[in-house]
Chains A and B, each alone.
Chain A
Amino acid sequence: MERRSFLKSCACIAAVGATEGLSSSHAEAASKKPESMRPKPGDQLVVEDGHGNARVISASELKLEVQQIMAFPQDPVTGVIRSGSRFNKVMVMRLNPELMDEDTKKNSADGVVAYSAICTHQGCDVNSYIEDKKEFFCFCHYSRFNPYEAGKVTNGPATRRLAMLPIEIKDDFIIVKEPFTRKPGYKK
């Protein structure tokens, strides 16, 4: 009996914990402004010009393995660009689908991929692409990531792969299909 009570208590604590987790998640979502919320299915990817203007990226403008474009998701209904959080910044690029592994392929569309632009090491922008290695590159500490293997780390100090943002293409626009595959950002 005592043992059962103890286990029951633990289960309750776990349940409360889970509920609290959900609650805080909901609370966070509710308190966040739309521009800071994580990308949502149906958002389109846009490039900001620094003056609050946005240009929708078309899939056809992306050439094979040419330097990534830095983009943010935009709610197509309200026009809100989700650049209120830098963790929403993504790199968009066209790759060769034949070289992709399965995880990469299922989150891509016609060879186009979108990855979190935030390095998983210390949070710098991953804004370079090394053509001969076919790798994303972080200038802060030289971490490299393979866009053909779902953002896998190929050179440290980063230890966690980049988050992917699953996308689809509709009318040549790049549309968010699902939330990030993992939490974007880094652990301090």
Chain B
Amino acid sequence: MSLAKQFGILAVALAVTPAAFAVGGATAAKSNPLTNYSPVTEARLQNPEPENWLQWRGTYEGWTYSPLDQINADNVSDLVPVWSYSTGELEGHQAPPIVNDGVMFISTPNNQVIALNAETGDELWRYKKEIPEELFQLHPTNRGVGLYGDKVYLAATDACLVALDAKTGEESWVTCVADWQDGYYMTLSPLIAKGKVMVGVSGGEYGIRGHITAVDAETGKIEWKTHTIPAPGEPGSDTWKGDAWKTGGASVWIAGTYDADMGVAFYGTGNGGPWMPDTRPGDNLYANSVVAIDVATGKMKGYHQYHHNDAWDWDEVSPPVIIDYKHKGKNIKGLVHAGRNGYLWTLERHKDGSIGFVDAEPFVKQNVFKSIDPKTGRPTYDPAHTPGTGKTVTFCPSLWGGKDWPPEAYNPKTGLFYIPAHENLCSEMGGVKLAPRKSGELYIGVPISDILTNIRLTDAAKNDHIGEIQAWDLKKGKKVWQFNMKEMNWGPLLTTGGNLLFSGGSNDRMFRALDARTGKKLWQYRANSGITAVPSSWSVNGTQFIGVQAGWGVDAQRMQGAFDAVMDHTTAVPQGGVLHVFALKKNADKLMEAAAK
């Protein structure tokens, strides 16, 4: 054969290769779950089938709960890894495996989505958004895709929402909701309801003005945009002075929860910016708040501000978990939030969309709030622990809070509410005179060197523990058990119908299963990297799976750097994203055989 002919064959081979990549490692012999892809409807999002995990926390209510119980407290010791998958990315992996009838979607840092066969781990397609070369932000991560109809939605770091064809990974449309060059970016999972895909923006540290935007799920057209800081003349604008509202932060970097009966989404908002309170006098609505948003119109129907005129970088971006429960004999349609400010907040959602205060109590040591108004929930502050420009003080909990972004969980079988917490950590911080804001540059008013060295360890932190998982009985308003970790806990939680609680979060790279009723450790696995992602559970062909991405980075890694600077030892936590999938040992062999075919 001539070389020319050989070259021709090579050319043909190259021409068909991209198509082969499109179905990845799947072979013709295996069934492709994309062939009969099940469209995701609002009814399915409201009542997801037990075998599926259709949104980042499983349900609209934010329970991070799977009713599956094949894997349970009695047999979890038989849990074994059945497959794993390298994402090819470094940095912080925080997204759960999202599963729809055997098709899994994971998102990773650097704006990547990978579709996989949820049973075998075969790659179905892979998408990576091209991002402007100069884009830089402090939180290179993603917290999960959204599913609706036959599309997959990704909120990208260039502040653009991308709709992908679920079957092919091809872009259907791209809608940008803000200007990345002005410091806006997105890392959250989209919330989808009433045919709208809702996203919020990060960038409080760059002097942005937060907002939530709803985009038509089919066309990509922007339906409404609601700012979390009112413009002059709007309700709440009198809580700002001068032009501070224009750069006041209140970013929205975690997906909201949703009450489908009310048609209302509940979003948490970040701290005011710049960080020092004297740079933006006033209460600074609606920073550090939960806001109730009418999904149909974008109208803000209510709010509760957890704390006013923030001074501690205590974002309250985690949305409240929707739980109905009894409090002092009264049935409460509740909202429950473990705050970065170290208080466990219980609120009530009213029919008109307004939010009522029920109770608040500290779940970690907190030395800032001197009192909480029993009617309104408004705290008073101890000035000795309130930093300002030219005023450096210590305060507890640290700027990473009693609970940072990692989601809580609620298990309707145990009736317990679970919190990933940091205890015994404090900060020392103060502000310096602000330089004028430059578009796309940090606008904090606290020297970076001070932020890096802010951590102050109490004796209990040095001698006992820092990381915790707490379980609370909301009816009694009491903590019923606690699991301690020597150092940090950046682990989102998953709880299941098998009376289990799964989580990673520690710098020893462990992924653990606890008895959800008692906190007793029942099983653990040491991963390739630290785990800061939301775990999830699903089942295919009668086998229940537990899955979680490992991949240390972002704030967990920053806290590790701060610990290394002040502790008597350093800890190496390698980076690198890997999805780990587990099942019971009895199912492992048949899964391996299926994958090998």
- List the interface of chain A (C-beta within 8 A of B): 2-3, 5-6, 48-51, 85-87, 122-125, 127-128, 139-142, 157, 185, 188
Contacts and interface: CB of A to CB of B under 8 A. Distances in A.
A90 to B, nearest CB: 15
B596 interface: no
3 residue pairs, one from A and one from B, having the closest CB atoms: A50-B436, A123-B136, A139-B448
A179 B208 CA distance: 34
Contacts of B452: 139
A135 to B, nearest CB: 13
A127 B448 contact: yes
B16 interface: no
Contacts of A87: 133-134
Contacts of A5: 3-4
Nearest to B440: A86
B136 A3 contact: no
Contacts of B435: 50
A73 B133 CA distance: 20
A157 B575 contact: yes
Q: Please classify the interface of chain B as helix (H, G, I), strand (E, B), loop, or mixed, using the class held by over half of its residues.
A: loop
B110 A2 contact: no
Contact of B91 (A2, A122, A127, A139): A122
Contact of B3 (A2, A49, A85, A142): A2
27 contacts: A2-B2, A3-B3, A6-B3, A6-B7, A48-B438, A50-B436, A50-B437, A50-B438, A51-B436, A87-B133, A87-B134, A122-B91, A122-B136, A122-B140, A123-B134, A124-B136, A125-B442, A128-B448, A128-B449, A139-B451, A141-B561, A142-B561, A185-B133, A185-B134, A188-B110, A188-B131, A188-B133
B134 A85 contact: yes
Interface string B561-585: 1000000000000010000000000
Nearest to A53: B436
Contacts of A140: 138, 558
Given A51-B436, A123-B134, A125-B136, 6 more contacts: A5-B3, A5-B4, A48-B438, A87-B133, A125-B441, A141-B561
Contact of A141 (B4, B7, B451, B557): B557
Interface string B1-16: 0111001000000000
Nearest to B7: A6
Contacts of B575: 157
Contacts of B436: 49-51
A85 B451 CA distance: 27
Interface of B: 2-4, 7, 91, 110, 131, 133-134, 136, 138, 140, 435-438, 440-442, 448-449, 451-452, 557-558, 561, 575
Q: Please classify the interface of chain A as helix (H, G, I), strand (E, B), loop, or mixed, using the class held by over half of its residues.
A: loop
A5 B2 CA distance: 12
A139 B140 CA distance: 14
B134 A86 contact: yes
B274 to A, nearest CB: 13
Nearest to A185: B133
B432 to A, nearest CB: 13
A139 B561 CA distance: 10
Nearest to B131: A188
Contacts of A85: 134
Nearest to B3: A2
Nearest to A122: B140
Nearest to B565: A142
Nearest to B561: A142
A159 to B, nearest CB: 12
A185 B575 CA distance: 21
Nearest to A50: B436
Nearest to A129: B449
A124 B4 CA distance: 49
A124 B448 CA distance: 12
A30 to B, nearest CB: 18
A51 B91 CA distance: 34
Contacts of B438: 48, 50
A86 B91 CA distance: 22
B464 to A, nearest CB: 27
A122 B157 CA distance: 14
A127 B441 CA distance: 12
Contacts of A125: 136, 441-442
Contacts of B561: 141-142
B100 to A, nearest CB: 29
Contacts of B2: 2
Nearest to B91: A122
A122 B133 CA distance: 11
A91 to B, nearest CB: 14
Nearest to A121: B90
Nearest to A119: B136
B142 to A, nearest CB: 14
A139 B110 CA distance: 20
A2 B402 CA distance: 72
Contacts of A127: 448
A125 B452 CA distance: 14
A157 to B, nearest CB: 7
B154 to A, nearest CB: 16
B130 to A, nearest CB: 9
Contacts of A185: 133-134
B136 A86 contact: yes
A2 B4 contact: yes
A6 B105 CA distance: 44
Nearest to A85: B134
Contacts of B110: 188
